[in-house]
Chain A
Amino acid sequence: MTQFTPSTNVDFIVIGSGAAGGIMAKQLSVAGFSVVVLEQGGWGKYGRDHEYNKDEWLDRNESEEDRLMSDPSRQRNTFRRTDKEKAVRGTHSYGCVVGGGTVTYGGSSWRHLPWEFNEASYDKTIPSGTGMADWPITYEELEPYYTQAEWELGISGLRVDSPFVAPMSKNYPVPPAPLKSSGALFNIAAAKHGLTVVPGPLAIITKRYKGRAACVNCGLCSGYGCHVGARSSTAVTMLPIAQKTGRCEIRVKSYVREISVDNSGQVTGVIYFDAQKREVHQKAKAVILSANASESARLLLLSKSARFPDGLANSSGLVGKYLMLGGGASASGLLEHPLNEYKGVISGAGIVDYVPSDPKRGFYGGGRLTARGYLTPLELGLNGLSPNAPRWGAGYKKALREEANHRMTITCFVTQLPLETNRVDLDPDVKDEWGLPAMRITSKSHPDDLKNMEFFRQKSLEILETAGAKKIWAPAVSDSRGGAHNRGTCRMGNDPKTSVVDKYHKAHDVPNLFIVDGSNLVTGGRNHPTMTIQALAFRAAQHIVRAAKNGTLRTSL
């Protein structure tokens, strides 16, 4: 396996190996550049996917070595709703393994719709005082890269002609996952309500593709590594190709603490802690930051220097700001006949008619309803019964037997308006396990976001009722506290005063620093960011390769 010494001035360091980092590593190394990927997590079962456990109990009690997500007791973080509060211990976590969150995610791969790139000027009903802004790129510019991402990664789905779904120049490479009972019930309800049901586009292959096996519908999906390698994570699609070039080294257990710069303001490499917490300074001609929206922002803020006293790439003061978290609502119902929702992919069919905002609803916002059943045995036994079911005794056992496999759940994914006050910064008091200031998340959704969630909660109840559910319930909507889908902390734009990176992901302030991940998203989409992150990565890589070959990175590549 290729190995570089820290003193070797490699062409690129890629920080993070997830949705975007894996693509950047592959594209840059295939183009002929030397690349060191620094991943703070471990290998997982990289190259040995069949070893991923399908043990519901072990999965919740992983050894440190088998963890696939960050550990909030090590990667400590704090949370508060507003600046007036003192932040308390947070539960934010993200993919932390080679392949990042794509190793365990549900695989939803919705594109942004064309108008989501200029929603700020397109939609006049957006409340004032938010940070909604147009992207510096259009859907048409990004469309070829969506297609590239779908075909290189292996996304299953069905191209549909609908105003509620992004138009595609090419169909998906493999057909959608089989319809589940929840999808069939969606169809029944949708036929009555005049709604549109679309199979969820998923990073899960349903036929053999590029040498990988098809999904076997095992049902222990989101949260687990895929034991047949059918989930199109960057660990099975991109990184093996990168490694095969002989120009890419993946270094695991590498916890980056600083991106270093010289007096001229150019990046010279990064300083990280290795597995033994020894500091290593890896030199590089350019750095790609793909550490997840929350960690990328934190790392920039940690990278203070005389030249960049407020953190790297932060002359705008916007690094960390306009954070968007995953918001939603859900509802469940019990049906007469068994659905066996524990079989198959987690995220099945989607109802897409409410993706656009509609002023008649009385607020700004939109989203998708997805049939998202996932009641594996422990989930059912511990958290899955209807609200008033007894918790123990004969009544509990009766409910277990009667409700098992009869439940359908709808999970909705909705917009969160970008607000300058919602952000990632450094906690002044709490340190992480490496002695660095912990990430602090400040987030309170706009009132319209909460109205939107309630709208989707009510819609879910209606649809369950129309589908014939006998008993229906929905937890009260609640504001997010972090977790997957965080976006928007280093937004993309043409003006260095109002954005952190330019339309090619180059930091406005630093010529050889590129930030490529969910942090660049100007608008959140309807809370399904991964496919857009991946299309952006392919586009960014193409530009960076071209610029590097032309010598226009202003470095000595």
Chain B
Amino acid sequence: MRTKAKSRRSFLVDSVTGLNAAWITANLPGILAAQEYARHSAESGQLPPLAFFTAAQAAEVEAIAAQIIPTDDTPGAREARCLYFIDRALTTFARNSQAVYIQGLQELQAKTAQLYPSAGKFSALTSEQQIKTLTEIEKTQFFNTVRIHTVIGFLARPVHGGNHNKIGWKLIGYDDSLNHKPPFGYYDAQPEPRRKA
């Protein structure tokens, strides 16, 4: 039962890292630097430089993220800049996931080559081919890590580098004002049902 802060938090940490508790050994200066950097890039209107991935790796990770939360009639992971959240996370919060990405990208390359020998790289596949490829690896630690990081990048505060222009929050109708007045929803706005005497 997830009733209290700690159980909720450990549940999340577990779901993110499996048994690897090193995730939570984030250091504050790193986090603050990342926030400052995200703020700077948001203000300057430019895409931030990559801190961890090469351009080639970034293209692959962005293509995966864009399949996890695709762009349709509304923006998805690509527009939310989940790639940049992940890139910064790998040098701060998620330093210990670096190896998972490096190795996972190599395996993705191999899987792509196996399924589509002429393609060269995952990001060059058609969307349908990408989905087929990811379905084959969806049980791997790599895919699960990218999936979780993408979701977090999509829905965490924009200050962490993703959720650009609050794209994620707009999709789920989240009001981040942190100051709400009733009625909060549809049902509490209705007249109360007549109670038994």
Contacts and interface: CB of A to CB of B under 8 A. Distances in A.
Interface of A: 54-63, 65-66, 68-70, 72-73, 91, 93-94, 104-106, 178-185, 187-188, 191, 194, 216-220, 222-224, 227, 326-330, 335, 337-344, 372, 376-383, 391-394, 396-397, 400-401, 404-405, 411, 413, 478, 480, 483-485
Given A66-B28, A194-B196, A480-B1, A180 B188 contact: yes
Contacts of A73: 21
> What are the 6 closest A-B residue pairs judged by CB atoms, nearest first?
A223-B5, A337-B186, A181-B185, A404-B172, A181-B187, A484-B4
A339 B184 contact: yes
Given A181-B187, A194-B196, A222-B4, 6 more contacts: A106-B3, A180-B182, A181-B183, A401-B171, A404-B173, A413-B3
Contact of B5 (A69, A182, A338): A69
B5 A55 contact: no
Interface string B160-184: 1000000011011111001111111
Interface string B133-162: 010001000000001100110111101100
A372 B89 CA distance: 31
Contact of A383 (B15, B23, B31): B15
What bracket does the count of chain B residues touching chain A fall in?
A: 35 or more
Interface of B: 1-13, 15-16, 21, 23-24, 26-28, 31, 67-70, 72, 74, 76, 93, 131, 134, 138, 147-148, 151-152, 154-157, 159-160, 168-169, 171-175, 178-188, 190, 192-196
Contact of A57 (B11, B157, B190, B193): B157
8 contacts: A60-B12, A63-B28, A181-B186, A182-B187, A187-B193, A380-B172, A382-B148, A393-B131
A59 B195 CA distance: 41
A489 B5 CA distance: 23
Contacts of B193: 187-188, 191
A266 B152 CA distance: 55
A179 B187 CA distance: 10
Given A326-B3, A339-B186, A381-B152, A191 B196 contact: yes
B172 A377 contact: yes
Nearest to B163: A377
A391 B168 CA distance: 16
Contact of B1 (A94, A227, A329): A329
Contacts of B172: 377, 380-381, 400-401, 404-405
A393 B70 CA distance: 6
A377 B182 contact: no
